[in-house]
Structure 1
Amino acid sequence: MGGTEASMTADSPTPDTATPDSAPVEPSPALVQLAAAHGIATEYWSFFGDRVHVPAPTLRAVLQAMHVETATDDDISATLAEVEDAPWRRVLPPSFVSRPGARALPVHVPDGHDVRLVVALEDGSWRDLPVPDQAPVAREVDGATRWRVEVPLPTTLPVGWHTVHAFLTPFGGGDATESAQAGLVITPERMPDPPTRPGRHRGWGLMAQLYSVRSRASWGMGDFADLADLAAIAGAEGADFLLVNPIHAAEITSPIEASPYRPASRRFLAPLYVRPEDIREVAYLTPTERALVEAARTPVAAMDLDPARIDRDAVWAAKRVALDAIFAVPLSPARVAERDAFAAREGQPLDDFALWCALEEHYEGSARPDEAWDIASPLISDLRERLAGRVRFHVWLQWICDQQVESAQAAAKASGMAIGVMHDLAVGVHPLGSDAWSLRPMYAQGMAVGAPPDMYNQQGQTWNQPPWLPGALAESGYAPLRDMIRTLLRHAGALRIDHVIGLFRLWWIPEGLSPAAGTYVRYDHEAMIGVLMLEAQRASAVLIGEDLGNVEPWVRDYLADRGILGTSVLWFEREGDGFRPPEEYRRSLLATVNTHDLPPTAGYLADEHVALRARLGLLTRPVEEELADADAERAAMLTLLRSRGLIGEAPSEREVIEALSVLITASPSQLVGVALVDAVGERRTQNQPGTDTEYPNWQIPLAGPEGEVVLLDDLATLPRFTSLVSAVDARV
């Protein structure tokens, strides 16, 4: 583990320190105990079945990111004592999340006092929380005795966001004084089954990369208007949902991050997807202003017919010209009221996000001073006033995004969809983005989220996204998580959570180290999942967790018990040398043939997953061996399809693709997903894991089997599309 200790500091040598480039060192028992107390894995089982002991430098780095001092043995001992005493010093925990009656609230009372607990319910009413008559547990803290009592939560407490207040009264009389209050979140026990159309026991839907789906009215990439039209087309074919890539906010200056899974903010939306002509104030532009908008659109609209690549920077440059012109049009009183109501609802976080956008423009092309990275600095306070006009612009722009997404969901429901738009939640955020800036105390500095080594990525993966601090989330009452989910589900019927295991544990990688040098950090999954479910229930939305890969088996059972669907990809459902019969899939599942990290099925059948990795130098074995394995895998799948009468002896590529989608309808899975790329015969993959600049990830426009552009305007009459979706619709 060369270089591990280079980023560490110590006041004096300890038994578990190492010098740069030395071998991994075993942590001391005290360091192991301290790490475990903070939810840090000190050992784990690898993908390959090996028991891995996490070395001391990694544990120290992760603890340091949690603001835990470990420089010397004395520090560790003192911190261990603090970890044990800290909960006892607080009458109430910082926040408490529970299902109705499932957990007891820990209350710590100073000696010589009685405690009364009162819950302020979300509806404004108050309710006493009875303190049981039980023998409490005592502990000496800071030279005084404190008592711990476990207070059961009544099953009659309603689901919602409440506050519990603690009042202490001295023995022998005296006035009661409020000593503490804490957020009390009561969450649903279980999510209901996904809604379906009348007469059906389950639903199916289309899966698409929105930016890739263009129409003749697009500005060079798919947008919110295209989202509405694609939903309407899919709904007319019998689909119940439309799953799209994350539409989180990205940069608003060049270069714009192509990956939708590395956003600037997960709460706010990407104005890159706005259709300028659909903004009401366009009707009031002068002829000169209209000409300006059209002149901005013309060059990027010509890109709609280019099958090669999506150019986000060119698209945004054109749209920004148009949006600036539209923003200058005065709003009517009714529109002012709508915008102001939106801004008031979103509050300070929206203002901070808009300020970040304004700062991006202000410092475009130049280095940002260190002080500008601190949202509480005098410089930022000054710039908040100086850039107020641009802040208003970006607040307005988020309002426009919200309205256009609302229209898309309305179109989806009007088409007959039972669910509608299904958003995708990225696992993290860009380290220099808005969330990481405005919510800096919530994130672990010097850490990146990733994945340990597995058979597909033998060195592991670094996603270059800072992880949330578990303790900071609890201190905030999980408000950032709540607000993020609430925004995403405001105009949606479902949410897919990418890498859902991240709500249970995340792989933290210390800055400067390889992915293999990281370790797992656990989160309070009962709280995280509970908050997620509470907001989903309020939005009448379905939850799907992407639980592929190295996931602890109990996690899948837990999610199923809570009514959260898992994810299945046909090509990963292996059994021996063949494939698991779809009848054996889980019921609580979104079943699909492929995923955006694989080539479309046409490309997969043509060994594009091997050829592409060979071209990029990503293979770890000779290409002949990879092709032999691919041939055996394909032969096993074709045998399975023939055994069910889904294909003949010499099927065409189109027939095989259609048969694969029909095959998964034999599963008991509650939802079935059909990839749009499969329905049009696209061969190119959207994302090749393990690459950055080597391949145009997330930039591939929708095209057919011969590379010809497929436009949204022609989709409903495309024989290949209608044949596949009709075959699926007839079997769900």
Structure 2
Amino acid sequence: MGLARLAELHGVATTYAPSPATEVHVDDATVVAVLAALGVDASTPAAIASATGAAEREAAARLLPPTVVWWAGEPPPAWSARLPAGTVLGVDLEDGGQARLRADAGTLGLAAAEDGPPLGVHRLRAEAPGGRTAEATLIVAPPRAPQPPGRCHGFLVQLYSLLSSRSWGMGDLGDLAETASWAGRTLGAGFVQINPVHAAVPTVPSDPSPYRPSSRRFPDPVHLRVEAVPEYAYVTGPDRGRLDALGERAAALRAAVLHEDAHIDRDAVWALKREALEIVLAVPLGPGRRAEYCDYLASQGRALDDHATWYALAEVHGPDWHAWPEGLRDPRSAETAAARGELLDRVEFHSRAAFLTDQQLGAASHAAAEAGMAVGIVHDLAVGVHPDGADTWAQQGVFADSISVGAPPDAFNSLGQDWGLPPWRPDALAATGYAAYRGLLRGLLRHAGALRMDHVMGLFRLWWIPRDAEGGDPTRGTYVRYDAEAMLAVLVLEAHRAGAPVVGEDLGTVEPGVREALARRGILGTSVLWFERHWDKDGQPPLDPAEWRPGCVATATTHDLPSTAARLTGEHVALRHRLGLLSRPLAEEQAEDRAEVSAWLRDLAVLGLLPDRALGHGADDEEDEIGAVHRFLLATPAAMVGVWLPDTVGDRRPQNLPGTSDEYPNWRLPLADAAGRPVTLEELAASPRLLRLMEVVEPHLPARTPPPPARPA
């Protein structure tokens, strides 16, 4: 009971329920290790008693928690009702102003709920009768995040996979701007959703996954279109010849991917771009460009300085800061300050690279707006960062050391999952007013039409896995709870400031009440066709279109799932068989897959979404079936309908096949047609198959068949 009480005081679970009828008890050693990562000693009964007593005394004496939330326009928050009557509150507003309130039976002396402090992140000071005082960060947020300005459709794509005739071996931000302009102007698309473009760990070979970055705060310059850098045009003399030679090597790299069945080689792309940038960045900035760059440096402050310093140090000492000389492991040490001065040219290079990437992100956002997109570019926020990268070095105080996040064992994965990402400490976030989280969101939202949050359930709790020299065991983890109200308030406030809707990836096992809490704050969910079923009914029949939730992005698939063509043809089963990933005989897996797909096709036919000729399951029917799938999505009330861009040309290959590493080229495949032939952006824009599908999706095209709201009775 003592350990359980101590764990409860710190938000650490001692039991969890993988299903409604099952409760699993967490091993005591796991709880002790997780508490240790939170700075709590629970190694002995005496230590547990001491830590419990200290935590309970602190809670009893606390006038205010470190961070409190106030939802604008709503009744005074619950924390105010716990203040002694007569407590005087002073608010130092973020704009430099001040406000005063008085606690009286939870009313805070307000004539109306709207009379509260303005939106923002303020400093709250409390003085209770008797002389007790406290200070806290006060987050005042609007009640809901911005919503899309009307129902719209758009594309989902992994940016690196979208090569054009101008990109250097992988899709870049120039391709993104072109895609947004084409899709918005020609197809009426309201958004383009891409993978995270966070800065990667500079290892060779690098990890191609965009979901395990070095930093989520700054973008990766590997996405730059080098020729679009203004100074590129002013390179002259021998350097111009060197640039031209690099362009020829880039063309060969691109040709290998498009015509020789090579995989996207991020390391080779960056090697060329880095060499080109060394040349281009030697061109002096004009007065206006210099002023613009200085403004950017000032706006990013210490965060950018730390980021660029880490990359400069990594060039000398390697990308694992834990192995650096001891003095350099601390970003605030005298040794680091001296090294920063010695490496000033490299710090400048990485700062300039971040500036240029930020500019091209802005150009892509501008292209989307100019094309009339209702939402624009939807950026993706990965759930965490690499344990050895720039963010963990710069923000050591808010990350839990020797802990990795993942997922517990469930019906789909009996071994659980270890994502290799260190979590934020909830106590440190609260103590610092969520400064790191606020800075992250503000940086990502600079040029985002909307923001997608990977594993949005992590705002509520995360599965913590203690690690040792041998790694961690996902089955021996536990949940650690975060202050979801504060996490949501920061998210909604920053989204409001940016005018950007937020989409939460809430697939898989979701704790009861989470989707409802997200919906209340205007966070859209993610609904994937194959998962939207009556899971509590016999046979688990699909939901009718009208039964789908309106507050979601409706899609047929994602980057972690088979493409729609692969699903309909059974190619995804054949792929897993070739890679030895099936847990049952091939014939058994194929029979079950065919039965599921047939049931879906019958359902689409009953709804009148599938022409009769498509029921023969012949090769000529594939386009009709994919069209029917998207008619179904359009028949739902979803706020946004996402089309997986590879589906428009019949691509069979998933971008990521969970459960594989070297067996499959995850995150390295160019967008391809049904035969596996890579398709350039230019070919995509002229694809008859794409245009036929978009006649189904785009409501303004005359060939679109309006879908019915629900199946006949």
Correspondent of 1:240 among 171, 187, 190: 190
* Aligned equivalent of 1:563: 522
* Aligned equivalent of 2:648: 679
Distance 2:79 2:21 in 1: 38
Distance 1:371 1:606 in 2: 58
* Aligned equivalent of 2:371: 415
Contact 2:86–2:103 under 8 Å retained in 1 = no
Q: Secondary structure, in 3 states, of the residue corresponding to 2:192? A: strand
Correspondent of 2:441 among 485, 501, 505: 485
Corresponding position: 1:221 with 2:170? yes
Amino acid at match of 2:328: A
Task: Measure how far apart 1:194 and its partner are.
Answer: 1.1
Q: What are the equivalent positions in structure 2 for 1:276-675 lying under 5 Å apart?
A: 276-305=226-255, 306=257, 307-364=261-318, 368-511=324-467, 512-575=471-534, 576-645=539-608, 646-647=610-611, 648=613, 649-650=615-616, 652-675=621-644
Structure 1 107/350 Cα, relative in aligned 2: closer, same or farther at 3 Å? farther
* Aligned equivalent of 1:146: none
Distance 2:128 2:18 in 1: 49
Contact 1:47–1:453 under 8 Å retained in 2 = no
Q: What are the equivalent positions in structure 2 for 1:203-222 lying under 5 Å apart?
A: 203-222=152-171
Q: Secondary structure, in 3 states, of the residue corresponding to 1:463? A: strand
* Aligned equivalent of 1:61: 33
Alignment deviations for residues 669-724 of structure 1 (CA, whole Å, 9 cap, x no partner): 11100000101111111111122222211111111111112111222211111111
Task: Measure how far apart 1:416 and its partner are.
Answer: 1.1
Alignment deviations for residues 94-123 of structure 1 (CA, whole Å, 9 cap, x no partner): 22222134414469999xx98632112233
Alignment deviations for residues 148-183 of structure 1 (CA, whole Å, 9 cap, x no partner): x99688542222111123457978xxxxxx965322
Contact 2:196–2:210 under 8 Å retained in 1 = yes
Distance 2:234 2:657 in 1: 45
Contact 1:98–1:526 under 8 Å retained in 2 = no
Task: Measure how far apart 1:627 and its partner are.
Answer: 1.4
Corresponding position: 1:715 with 2:684? yes
* Aligned equivalent of 1:19: none
Report the more deviating stretch, 602-611 or 386-395: 602-611
Corresponding position: 1:187 with 2:141? yes
Q: Secondary structure, in 3 states, of the residue corresponding to 1:86? A: helix
Q: Which runs of 5 or more structure 1 residues have no equivalent in the other structure?
A: 1-28, 135-148, 172-177, 197-201
Alignment deviations for residues 633-663 of structure 1 (CA, whole Å, 9 cap, x no partner): 1111111122233232335212211221121
Q: Secondary structure, in 3 states, of the residue corresponding to 1:453? A: coil
Correspondent of 1:103 among 71, 77, 81: 77
* Aligned equivalent of 1:8: none
> Per residue, is there more helix in 1 or in 2?
2
Corresponding position: 1:161 with 2:121? yes
Alignment deviations for residues 486-515 of structure 1 (CA, whole Å, 9 cap, x no partner): 111111110011100000110111113321
Amino acid at match of 2:201: E
Q: Secondary structure, in 3 states, of the residue corresponding to 1:331? A: coil
Correspondent of 1:263 among 213, 227, 243: 213
Alignment deviations for residues 338-395 of structure 1 (CA, whole Å, 9 cap, x no partner): 1111111111011000001111211249963344333234432321111111111111
Task: Measure how far apart 1:609 and its partner are.
Answer: 2.6
Corresponding position: 1:231 with 2:180? yes
Amino acid at match of 2:192: L
Distance 2:50 2:575 in 1: 54
Report the more deviating stretch, 85-94 or 247-256: 85-94
Distance 1:245 1:685 in 2: 14
Q: Secondary structure, in 3 states, of the residue corresponding to 2:125? A: strand
Q: Secondary structure, in 3 states, of the residue corresponding to 1:450? A: strand
Query: Considering only aligned residues, what root-mean-square deviation do their CA atoms show, in Å?
Result: 2.3
Alignment deviations for residues 162-220 of structure 1 (CA, whole Å, 9 cap, x no partner): 1123457978xxxxxx9653221101112343113xxxxx1111000000001111010
* Aligned equivalent of 1:700: 669
Amino acid at match of 2:653: R
Identity among equivalent positions (%) equals 47
Report the more deviating stretch, 101-110 or 445-454: 101-110
Distance 1:183 1:128 in 2: 15
Distance 1:125 1:30 in 2: 46
Distance 1:37 1:168 in 2: 25
Report the more deviating stretch, 88-97 or 714-723: 88-97
Distance 1:530 1:293 in 2: 48
Distance 2:219 2:288 in 1: 23
Distance 1:332 1:375 in 2: 32
Contact 1:443–1:466 under 8 Å retained in 2 = yes
Alignment deviations for residues 401-441 of structure 1 (CA, whole Å, 9 cap, x no partner): 11100000110111110110000110000111111111111
Q: Which runs of 5 or more structure 2 residues have no equivalent in the other structure?
A: 700-705, 708-713
Amino acid at match of 1:43: T
Alignment deviations for residues 43-91 of structure 1 (CA, whole Å, 9 cap, x no partner): 1111484210111011111101111001111110110111112245555
TM-score in terms of structure 1 length? 0.88
Structure 1 275/83 Cα, relative in aligned 2: closer, same or farther at 3 Å? same
Q: Secondary structure, in 3 states, of the residue corresponding to 1:574? A: coil
Amino acid at match of 2:77: R
Contact 1:48–1:454 under 8 Å retained in 2 = no
Distance 1:91 1:578 in 2: 52
Distance 1:625 1:553 in 2: 34
Structure 1 158/253 Cα, relative in aligned 2: closer, same or farther at 3 Å? same
Distance 1:364 1:430 in 2: 14
Distance 2:487 2:109 in 1: 21
Contact 1:577–1:636 under 8 Å retained in 2 = no
Task: Measure how far apart 1:93 and its partner are.
Answer: 2.8
Distance 1:47 1:294 in 2: 60
Structure 1 368/124 Cα, relative in aligned 2: closer, same or farther at 3 Å? closer
Distance 1:598 1:271 in 2: 28
TM-score in terms of structure 2 length? 0.91
Contact 2:507–2:526 under 8 Å retained in 1 = yes
Distance 1:180 1:49 in 2: 43
Distance 1:652 1:365 in 2: 51
Contact 1:605–1:634 under 8 Å retained in 2 = yes
Contact 1:89–1:108 under 8 Å retained in 2 = no
Distance 2:219 2:319 in 1: 24
Distance 2:133 2:337 in 1: 34
Structure 1 164/48 Cα, relative in aligned 2: closer, same or farther at 3 Å? closer
Task: Measure how far apart 1:39 and its partner are.
Answer: 0.9
Distance 2:318 2:389 in 1: 14
* Aligned equivalent of 2:659: 690
Alignment deviations for residues 425-459 of structure 1 (CA, whole Å, 9 cap, x no partner): 10000111111111111111111110112233221
Amino acid at match of 1:477: G
